[in-house]
Structure 1
Amino acid sequence: MSKRGYHHGNLKQALVDAALNLIEEKGPTGFTLSEAAKSAGVTPAAVYRHFEGREDLIAEIALQGYAIFADVMEYAYDKGQPSALASFEATGRAYLAFARKYPGHYIAMFESGISMQRTPELFTLASRAHGIMEKAAVELSKHIPADKRPPSQMFAAHIWAMSHGVVELFARGSPGTKSPFPPEDLLETGILIYLRGLGLLPEDE
C-alpha cells in the first residue's frame, strides 16, 4: 500500500491516514504514535498538536468511520424501500461491504476497545448507524404477531452479530479461515434461515 504523506495545512488528516495504514498492517495496538508520525512525514512532537495519545488518534479514526458507516447503512436502507424485508437484508449486506472497503476504520470502530461513549460526537454517530439497523428491524418485525415478536433491539442485534461474525471469520482474509462459500452467500443464507425461524418467510422461499 502506498504511503500517504503530510500536506501542509492537513496534519491531522495526514496522521489519520498514516494510522489507518498501520492499523490495517499491525492492528490497533501494534504501532506507536512515533510510527504514525514517521509514516506521515512529521516529527513525533507534531502528533501532540492534535492527539494526546494513540487512543485519541484511533478514536478519531473510529469517528470518521462511523460517519461513513452511518451513511452507507442509511443508503442501503433507503435503497430497499418500500420493502421492509429488502431494507433489512440490505443493511446486513452493507455491514459486510463497509468492512471490506474500510478495514482500518472497521478495526478502529469494533476491535480497538474504543468506547462509543468516549465523546458525545462519537456516541451520536455510532448511535445513528446502530439506529438504522434497528429501524429496519422494527419495520420488518411488524409482520410478526405481537406475542411472538422479539424486541426490535434484539432482532437487530442478532443480524448485527451474524454480520460481524461473517466479517471476522471470512470477509477480511484472516489466515486459516477461508470459507468454501462467498461471505455474501453465508450472510444471506444465515439471514434467510433466521427470518424463516421467525415466520417471516415461507419454507420454500
Structure 2
Amino acid sequence: MIKQGYHHGNLKQALVEAALRLIEERGPTGFTLSEAAKQAGVTPAAVYRHFEGREDLIAECARQGYAIFADLMEHAYAGGTPSALAAFGATGRAYLAFARRHPGHYMAMFEAGISPNRTPELAVASARAEAVLSRAAELLSRHIPAGRRPPAAMFSAHVWALSHGVVELYARTAPGTRSPYSAEDLLESGIGIYLRGLGLLPPDA
C-alpha cells in the first residue's frame, strides 16, 4: 500500500528498479510514472523529486545499463593481446550475456528511443561502452593493408550491429527457437567470416 509522506531511504534507485521490472514485463513504453511509483511504494508526487517524466526515468535505467555493459565489455576484452577472433568473440559473448541477464536495462538502452545524448551522464556511459569495441578495432585495423583498410569505427560498428542482430533475432525473442544453432555459435561464426573477409584471419582458422 502507498503511504502518504513515506520517505524512502534511496527513492531514486527504488524507482529505477521498479521501472526496470515494469520494462521487462511490458516494454519501455508500457507503463506510467504512477505505476513505477506504486511498485516502489511511494506516492506519484514523490517521483518528481528525482525525475521530470517517464523518459528521464528510463534514461537513468539506460545510464545504469551502459555502466554495467561497459564493465562486462571491458572485462571480456581485458588480459594480454588477444587474437582478432578472440577479441571480438569475447566482446560479442559479453553482449549476449548482458542482454540475457539484464533485459530491463537492455530494453531501456536500445528499445526505448532514448538518445544517448539526452543527458551528459548518459552520453558518457554510452561512449565508454562503445569505446571497448572501438579500441579493439583500432588495434586490429593496423594489421590490414592500408589500401583496403576500412575506418576502424566502421568495422567496430559492423561487429556491434552483428552482435545486436543476433541478440534481437536469436537470443531474446521467440524467433530464436527457429535456429538450430546457439546464439553464441551464430555470433562467433559471423564474426569469423567477417574478419576473414578483412584478411584478419586465415581462411582455415
TM-score range, shorter chain: over 0.9
2:174 is the counterpart of 1:175: yes
Counterparts of residues 1-205 of structure 1 (less than 5 Å): 8-79=8-79, 81-85=80-84, 86-172=86-172, 174-178=173-177, 179-205=179-205
Give the direction of change, closer, same or farther, for the CA distance of 1:84–1:202 in structure 2 (3 Å limit): closer
Q: Is the CA contact 2:58–2:108 (under 8 Å) kept in the aligned structure 1?
A: yes
Deviation of 1:180 (Å): 1.5
Deviation of 1:181 (Å): 0.9
Aligned to 1:3: none
SS at match of 1:30: coil
Structure 2: 5+ residue stretches without partners = 1-5
The structure whose RCO (Cα within 8 Å, separation 6+) is larger is 2
Give the direction of change, closer, same or farther, for the CA distance of 1:7–1:78 in structure 2 (3 Å limit): farther
Structure 1: 5+ residue stretches without partners = 1-5
Q: Which runs of structure 1 show a deviation greater than 4 angstroms over 4 or more consecutive aligned residues?
A: none
SS at match of 2:168: helix
Deviation of 1:7 (Å): 8.3
Residues in 2 aligned to 1:149 and 1:83: alpha-carbon distance in whole angstroms: 20
Instruction: Give CA-to-partner distance per residue, 1:23-60, whole Å, 9 cap, x none.
Output: 01100001111111111111111111111110000000
Residues in 2 aligned to 1:8 and 1:191: alpha-carbon distance in whole angstroms: 47
Residues in 2 aligned to 1:149 and 1:96: alpha-carbon distance in whole angstroms: 28
Q: How many residues align?
A: 198
Q: Is the CA contact 1:84–1:139 (under 8 Å) kept in the aligned structure 2?
A: no
